[in-house]
Structure 1
Amino acid sequence: MSRVPKLSALLAVGALALTALPSNAAQPSRSSLASAFQSASAKYDVPREVLVGVGFAETHLDGHHGAPSQANGYGVMHLAANNVNKTMSEASKLTGLPVAKLSKDDASNILGAAAVLDSYADQAGLKDRSRIGEWYSVIAKYSHSADAATARLYTDEVYKMIGLGVRTAGVSTDPQQVTPDRGAYAKVAPLGAKVQGADYPGAIWDPASTSNYQVGRTQAISTIVIHVTQGSYAGTISWFKNPSAQVSAHYVVRSSDGQITQMVAEKDTAWHARSANPFAIGIEHEGYVDQPSWFTDAMYRSSAALVKNIADRRGIPKDRDHIKGHSEMPGNDHTDPGPNWNWDYYMQLVNDGNPNPPQYNFTTWGNGVNVRSAPKLSASVVTTLAGPTRVFVECQVQGDTVTAGGYTNNWWSKLRDQKGYITNIYIDDPNAKLPGVPDC
């Protein structure tokens, strides 16, 4: 749902181990972002782990250059300005900072969120601020969710981040063994306890507001549209329940584990792709188009299984003419799912459920001559090397945005949970074929 400009896809060059970098180059330095959390925590007596947990659950600590989410939320901490969530104006009143600065300056945004959380803690009568488990109701209020179940979904995700610890964008927190005091929320059934989806057995049924979609169809279903939420999973579900949103999708997929919530029955017309709405099924994916860390393997696999099910049930060809991105639909000005969405891998999963994701791509060069292979899914990719001897071969695994040799690239990079180091191979025969990709 975003108009974020395309990222460049330059090849990272150099024989060195790669380190993940934040995707937004305009963000403050790592040290200044970490310092902002520390300062805000000290000023407003909000545990740093709570601040970082909220920020990571909302945005993965990326301010996105001040661009708004679909719910009109801004910055690392998603200070919002909509009809049900007014944390932006609250932050401005509490800190005296203008909205423009709270929206675009990460340190101010974090400070504003701390001020709001502090005020909510005061209202809740929270006495011992150091007891992280007792912040549950305060965090739930910060979410301004459409209902208690969605508020619990949101807050449980924050506590999950607190429990795991966060290490990204130069900000780190140690894992905390915390038992959240859910209070009244302990009686609220988690979202996953709701009934199965109306159409897909693997989904949870949690309907959107009836003000945000049209009952019935005026055209036969022929297209499946892939979206990115420009926001969090819980926030998107809450937004689709807001009668003023005037937007919805049939399904929403969570990044961390691929959980799916169905919000509009397929027989009805969700509002997600303008003129394509009458013949399309919309699937939203948690995250932001310019931030590849949201596009997990769990998300790809879960979404692909959903698409395969829909296509098989409805006789929709499983190809790119019928499974499209939002940006490819007529009459739309959005960019999602964007350049970080791995269409090749996704369509492979949709069509044959191959359990092995593509791990390696490669490039070659030597003595001033570059020979680059096209990205392939097969593990037996080879190419003929014309030109000089002593050709250098570089292999990397897919993953997060990295910088090496003066280039930034979000495609040929390192998976967070694998070593992924570059390997040097020298081939003396200029007409030799490269070894199979996994041998790199």
Structure 2
Amino acid sequence: MKKYDLIIIGSGSGLNIASKAIQQNKKIKIAIIEKSKMGGTCLNHGCIPSKMLLHYKDVIESIKSSKDFFIKSKIEKIDYEKIISSTDYQLNKLSREIYSFYKKSRQIDLYKGNAKFIDNHTLKVSKDLIYGKKIVLAIGARASIPNIQGLENIDYLTYIEALKLKTLPKTMTIIGGGYIGIELSNFFQSMGCKVTILEAKKILSNVDDEIASEFKKKFLKNIKVIENVNIKKIESKNKKITVFFNNKKITSEKLLISTGIKPNTDLIDIQNTNIKLDEKGFIKVNKYLQTSIKHIYALGDCINSYFFKHSANFESLYVFEKIFKKHTPKINYPPIGYCVFSTPEIAGVGITLKQAKSSKYYIKKANFKDIASSMIVKDNTGVLYLIFEKKTNRLKGSHVVSKNASILIHILIAFMQKKAKEEDLKEMIYIHPSFGEFIKKAL
């Protein structure tokens, strides 16, 4: 049995730990286990490919809106197959480069396959048994599939298959209106596919009602959304898929399931360890990202924390510090923002508007149509909220719906990071005319 100082399961954010460790300690021996392509979910079938495809959507929308600026333009053809193949090529190339980099290291052994725990220190990968003094679980999550009658007989898509779909369907039904469902619906609609979203409650249920309401003003112009849906069954006939719901039905060529994620903890024989899980299968960790076994750490989508690549990267750097440096304090998350890369974009950080209705806070608001940039880009859709704590006047949250919201929110994340007060935001000089004046307008 081969023994290692550190075993890392998963080649996404866990690679941050490996790369820093081999730079710091030239004698350390590390094993990296990956069942799929190097680079993890984000690179291969998550945030990177989805944002690459969504940029094509942005280009198409720019061309179509050129008439608003008295520019006559025409899209002669959208080469969907080339868009998909080009994206795949770039991602596969980068994944291979990552593999080659770590393969060359004398300090790292790469294992391809599913990791299975034998005990608290020992793992089996294919026929290999390996021992780790310390272990990091960066095993991620996968699409959660709902229990719907007939779904087991359907050739449905998850985000993984949708991002690599070779042929553009004429119609698509998406079950689930969360971040992933919204972004993918935007992409396929821009390509020429007729998309309908079915949502059990309301789309974007994780954002405030005020934000979702502003978002829908533009989003619903191009994509049909049906909320408060109770799906009874799903059938397939003549290469078409029919979803039966609320005494109605909808038929389409493709069905995309986008109803959340589940952790991959059920794939690694975790029952052979003393690692504790919560009721949803996520790994329980303490304030040092240690599991119930102190030499085993966990980070990213397999713990019930934030579900972003940027938060997983932050956690991986913390775990490195905890493993290799003494007297590491408890993890202290800075303000962590989110974004839905749709049309329009949604971005936010900190406490929600619902939480801010407490007497501890006060809210400032601005409408995008009231700043100069709205006239420049000829777009009236957008709203920005700033949430301040009454006792300290410190910025505690912000939520934005607008073009370029993903960029604008970073100013507010920085203000929150530095514990800025309302007067600090007021003292800043915002470039005119710019999207930054959206913040000034709210003050």
Give yes or no for TM over 0.5: no
Q: Give the structure with the larger strand fraction.
A: 2
Q: Which has the higher contact order (CA 8 A, sep 6+)?
A: 1
TM-score, normalized by length of structure 2? 0.25
TM-score, normalized by length of structure 1? 0.25
